Structure 1
């Protein structure tokens, strides 16, 4: 049960031109896949950020992890924090450990013949609802053909995008990434979605692109329409000011991002919904602990997402299944990136907008080595080493200013 090797593979996969408050997604998204090899041949899988610093940090700790028991995740976490030293932030250390912890839990489950959810306390639900993640987007990347989704730059385009999402995956709630166009245009988009999909819960996330004054106005105009309003402003104090007057809960993955920030959230009450993310909170067990904290202090939970593939989707699904108070449908980018997955098909699927919790040992998914090799070659050939939404946007709009708040 000793770890004999940690294989770190950076990959790049196709990503549509999805617009957001800092620019637009580049043609390739970056991720890291970890294969944690245990004596006897068992391999645990982990997935996380593909940024250069994460790869460097994984390389810095891998030799210290080799030889440890795959069940010693507490010790491995201590090694990560110690080896990376004081110059690396706790958040970045958590991002590194989260990849390793998921790989350890996957290997543990395979060794014991149980799914990861059982290692987290057992499932309280067997299907995890996810929300359609809608984006304003171009028809295709510059100098490329339109993609399968086409353009969505106005309410009609977003409604068409949502219809296809619902038809393909059965989603029962809709979230719009906002902060792209003036608020009145995004209010009109939400109202168009409400008209087209009566009864479906709606959310909007402008990623801090609005001022407090603008947020008050949008919250008022969309009262009774939004399920929750996510990160309309930047910072705990501004969020609390908006929350005090909004009729709907505020949600965040930007101001409550660690245990260190949780205490302030309890005293200032800036949000009613915390969006967990095991990639940032330090793995699945710490995410489960976040659930207990939220339950104690009367906060609800949902789940944040960034561009990801099947290993992460499986991990998200397992921890969501083990977290009783995760009461809102989770976010996922998976429909945008599903064609370039690194896991073998057949296990992960959407049924009426929900993913059944995999029942196989570990995460329940298996690596596709050919896909991993192809996406790694794509990473190497691309020369990309970091995500740069603003830089990419400036290729199209040279004077683009990402300064927030914008509206």
Structure 2
């Protein structure tokens, strides 16, 4: 007799975990990153898990969705999505996207629905004794390659002890950071978060990385802090050194102009972050690579849908990352493992997280040659460690952060800081 997969209980637990002072175009990471862990329990006692952002507004929307999902069958993803859509119909609150102002046009419905969809797929996988990747069509690859994510950074948060990575405010220090990442994780691609120093200094950093790692695919992402003219100049300067240039200038108009003048492909996770952005991006020939993200695009099945659309229009795919925990990493592994046309190593913030700052049981993820194996157990193949979850929730309560605010944190120490796009 089949188990009853009617959703009976949903628990949403906000958590906070340590985050280094990583610099970006809109400021600097605060001492803690915020996430939420979702547990969806069925009438028969199967519990599926998901992970999402942790801002106060987003949490309020997750709560609205959770109440609407009680009584819905976790095997009916369409019914779940419709229930969430109805719950959000009267939501007039703006913001709460979890991305510190960098990405503000992703679909609210998709952002809110995503962790519940992941939890439902986890339930289905456990119900049928198969991994989530099988529910998504089966594996195209048994392990998923990731890129080492390099950041300019302070040596420590003000008033705190230096972290293990140390300061990185120039090309030489970034090369040192890259050597440590490659040594410890085996990465075979590297990405530099730009939009922090003068564009010429960041180009010098890429050139230093290319000299030190001549066979390593490199990328830089200034998060649209460069003007179109600057992006074209830097793009031409870095010809032959970048596998792609990510979000160099503001808007699809800016991206299209840059793309028509630089030799390398352009990628985005800022200006094509919802399905209704795709037609315009195609018509303007603005981008070559979409950096998918289950948190933006409505979960794992919608990520597969995005992959099909990208293939139709000759676009390539990789995967975007935000500061995340193990539940999100497991979900990323399943969908990336089951998506043949993810053509580039995916992003991950995993090395920047303290090893004991997580919510999953044991240590299920191992980087070998920069890649992580897709879990093979039923569902997501990972389970919650409720003691760890409780500890990170207690930390959330203690730090009293309600939103991620990279700009506000930076302006505490530099009141003149300008986070505007295209400022260089």
Indicate whether 1:26 and 2:35 are aligned. no
State the alpha-carbon separation in 2 of the partners of residues 304 and 86 from structure 1.
30
Instruction: Find the aligned partners of 1:290 and 1:143 in 2 and give their Cα distance.
Output: 44
Residue 366 of structure 1: SS of its match in structure 2? coil
* Equivalence for 1:301: 317
SS of the counterpart of 1:139?
A: coil
- SS of the counterpart of 2:264? coil
1:278-321 CA-to-partner distances (Å, cap 9, x unmatched) read: 00000000000000000011000000010001100110010001
Aligned to 1:84: 88
Q: Deviations over 1:59-85 (max 9, x none)?
A: 112222112111111111111111111
- Equivalent of residue 47 in structure 2, options 31, 34, 43: 43
CA drift of 1:86 comes to: 4.9
Matched ranges for 1:1-400 at <5 A: 1-88=5-92, 91-339=107-355, 340-400=357-417
Deviates more, 1:121-130 or 1:344-353: 344-353
User: Higher mean Cα deviation, 16-25 or 376-385?
Assistant: 376-385
Rate the CA distance shift 1:242–1:230 in 2: closer, same or farther, 3 A.
same
Gaps of 5+ in 1: none
Query: Where does residue 102 of structure 2 map in the other structure?
Result: none
**Hey, what's the Cα distance between the residues in 2 that align with 1:261 and 1:55?**
25
Whether contact under 8 Å (1:309, 1:338) holds in the other structure is no
- For 2:194 and 2:143, locate their aligned partners in 1 and report how far apart those are by CA, in whole Å: 28
CA RMSD of aligned residues (A): 1.0
* The 10-residue stretch of structure 1 (16-25 or 48-57) with the greater mean CA deviation from structure 2: 48-57
Question: Cα 1:302–1:341, aligned 2, differ >3 Å: closer, same or farther?
Answer: same
Q: Distance in 2 between matches of 1:321 and 1:66?
A: 31
SS in 2 for 1:330: coil
How far apart, in 1, do the equivalents of 2:21 and 2:168 lie? 10
Residue 395 of structure 1: how far off its partner (Å): 1.6
Q: Aligned partners of 1:149, 1:277: CA distance in 2, in Å? A: 27
1:230 Cα deviation from its structure 2 partner: 0.1
User: How high is the TM-score relative to the length of structure 2?
Assistant: 0.94
2-side partners of 1:350 and 1:362: how far apart?
A: 21
Point out the more displaced range, 100-109 or 395-404.
395-404
Query: What is the distance in 2 between the residues matched to 1:58 and 1:245?
Result: 43
